[in-house]
Each structure stands twice: as C-alpha cells, then as structure tokens.
Amino acid sequence: MAWLPRLVVVLVILRLAAQLALEALNQVEARRNSARCPAALAGAMDAATYARSVQYTMARSRFGSVQAAYEAAVLLILLFSGVLRWLWAGLNGLAPGAAWSGALFLGATMILLGSLGLPFEWWSRFRLEERFGFNKSTLGLWAADQLKHALLGLVIGFPLTWLVLALAGWVGPLWWVWGFALLFGFQLLMMVLYPKLILPLFNRLSPLPEGEQRARLLVLAERTGFRARRIEVMDGSKRSRHSNAVFTGFGRFRRIVLFDTLMAQLGQEELEAVLAHEVGHYKCGHVPRFIALMALLQFGAFALVAWLARAPWFNVAFGLPEGMLAPAFLLFILLGGLVTFWLAPAGNWLSRRNEFEADAFAKGAIGSSAPMVSALRKLSRENLSNLTPHPLYRLVYSSHPTLAEREHALQR
C-alpha cells in the first residue's frame, strides 16, 4: 500500500535527523569543554590526554554522522530499488515456497548488507582507531575475522533460519510460538557454548596464572559467594588497545573473562574492584532479568512477524509476495531499527541503573570506593573516554553512566 512506503521514508528521515542532531550536539559539548578537564574530575586525565580524548570524541562523532547517512541511503535503496524483489525471484525460484530457499534469501541479503558495511569497518579500525593508537590488528587478521564471521553465519545461521521457516509448514498457525522456543533455547545454549567453541576461533583464552593476583581474586570470588568455574585472560591486545572485562554463561557455567590489556593497565586492588563489579551483575540479578526481558521481547517479535506475514498490505508494499514468511522476516529486521532507535533510551536507562548497582556492590565487597574510582579513572584515560557527553546524547546512546556520575555515586 502507498501509505506504508511513505511512512517508512518519513521514519528513515526522522531517525537520520535525530542521529545527526545528536552527533552535532555532542560535538558542540566536546568543544565547549575542550579547554580543560572538568573540575569534578580534576586529576582523572592530564591536559595532553584530555585533549586527545576530545579529539577522539570529535573524530568518532564525525565518522558516526557519515555512517548514519550512508546506512540510511543503503536502507532506502534496498527497500525501493527492486533489489529485494530481484533477489527473491532468483533465490525462491530455485525451490518456490521451500524453507531452504527462503533461508537462502535471508542469508544472501544479510551477506549483502554486511559487505556494504565493510568499508566503514575497515576505515574505523585502520584509519580512526589507528590514528589514536588503539588498533593492534593487521589487515590479514581483520580479513580472516570477516571470513570467519561469514562462515559462522552460514554454518549456524542458515540451518537455524531454515528450521524456523520450516516450522510454519510443520505445526501450522502457531509456528511462531515454536519458533520463539527454538531460537531462545538456542541462545541459552550459546551462552554456555560460545566461550568454549566460538570465542577460541578468534581469541586465545587461558586460565589466570598462578600467583598473588589469582589468589586474591579467588578469595574475593569466594567471599562474595561467586564460585565461578574459571577466571580467564583473553588476548584482546592482538586486535586493540581497548580494555574490558566480561561475564559469560550462567549457573554453574558462569565465568569471568579479563582482557590482557586490562591486566596490564590496572593494579591488584583495582582488578579486584573490577572483578567485584562483574560479580555484582550476577549477585544483583542482572543476568536473569536480562534473559527474561530478551525472552519477552523476542516472543513479541515473533508474534508480530506472524501477524505481518499474514497482512495483505505488508510484503506487497515493498514489491515482495503477499503471505510469504521469509520476506516478512527480512522486512521486520530491516525496519525494526526505525522503531527500536526511539526505544533505546529506556534500554540504556536500565543498563546504567545496573552499572550503578554493580559499582555499589563492588564498593561493599572491597570495603572502599577508592579502588573502583581509581580503576574507572585509569580505564577512562586508557580508552580516551568522553568525560562530557551531551545529556541528550547520553540519554540515547550511553549504556554506562559517565565517569563523574559513577564517582559521585561511589563516594556518596
């Protein structure tokens, strides 16, 4: 129907306008505070490091604006140029209406979109990140990573997509309930298997070496009631100088993974504070709440796709056949971002609240806020974090509170 394409164009323009406005506001805020580090964070960065953090913020913001415009143009071309209709005719024609040809259509379109994004990924790593000393990857390693991701998408994504599409023919109108159960069950399984089977394809994981640091961290884990099966170190330094700590798995399969860059940048007490923060996410119930929220959202998404696939006006508005499930799935994926962009502030608010709770847990576990504050300041320096994001930009994009907000909460 004519109204739906017009609505989509309006939504694409509105989202792009909001993205460009937010980047512009963030640049203005960065320039306004570029003279010196904020008084509340005196000592967090020296003058030279703070100047580089402002430059890094500005460069990333300009890059983000160009990328947003490019992605909006790609989306409009993909939806209205006839490319999707041509792909569907060619691939579905191999086996009209078959689940595997529908899965092939979805996979081919995702590969096309991924390929169109590669120039920006390359520029981000080998120009922007390289300029500020973060990139440690080589062109060969980067290309191998892209190839591995593509192969994993084919090996895992194609069979899973085929199963979901085949369910419509096997179980009838309630296929979407079974499809949700299949996908969600697979995701739970991957939470356990990913660090064992997938992550080692890209990075080397090794147990935290014996010594005082390992002993102190294990004592901390025991004291906080977190008996992780393993605390591991990942060789993140072969790709980037950025540092991080991640929590993977759940139940008896949970584990903490520390980047080797993090180990090099922080002292013993600071590492304990970071570990306590990660334990805090578990002890505060953030992981099961996140899983429950994702289950609810995915259940709703499957119900919506089932309804859209039956709607006589949805697929045909973009030149695709009415009532076909694979095109409905693809259009849902392509158009979903036009809605979820406006819902991002709610998700990021929840994430920031969780970070405050995990910080508070770390403070209680360590018995002082000083190690956590010191760790946050070091990580901000090492990662050239933006200390003064614009409030609206922070509302939409920031999953973590600012350094000033976290320090204020910890010292309160």
Which positions are catalytic?
A: 278, 359
From CA 42, how far away is CA 239, in angstroms rounded? Answer: 31
Count CB atoms within 10 A of the CB of residue 243.
21
Q: Provide the residue type at 72 as one letter.
A: A
- Which among 255, 286, 266, 273 is positioned nearest to 217, based on CA atoms? 273
From CA 240, how far away is CA 136, in angstroms rounded? Answer: 5
- Which among 395, 297, 390 is positioned nearest to 351, based on CA atoms? 395
Widest CA span in the chain: 68
Residue 403 φ then ψ, to 5°: -60, -40
From CA 111, how far away is CA 152, in angstroms rounded? Answer: 12
Q: Provide the residue type at 170 as one letter.
A: W
Give the three-class secondary structure for 261. helix
CA 375 vs CA 53, 240, 272, 371: distances in Å = 17, 19, 10, 6
Q: Which helix (H) or strand (E) holds 60?
A: helix 47-80
- Confirm if 396 and 348 have CB atoms less than 8 A apart: yes
Which token pair is 160?
A: 């899973």
Sheet-wide strand order for 205-207 = 205-207, 230-234, 255-259, 245-248
From CA 235, how far away is CA 20, in angstroms rounded? Answer: 35
Q: What is the dihedral of CA 22, 27, 31, 33, to 10 degrees?
A: 50
255-259/230-234 β-pairing: parallel
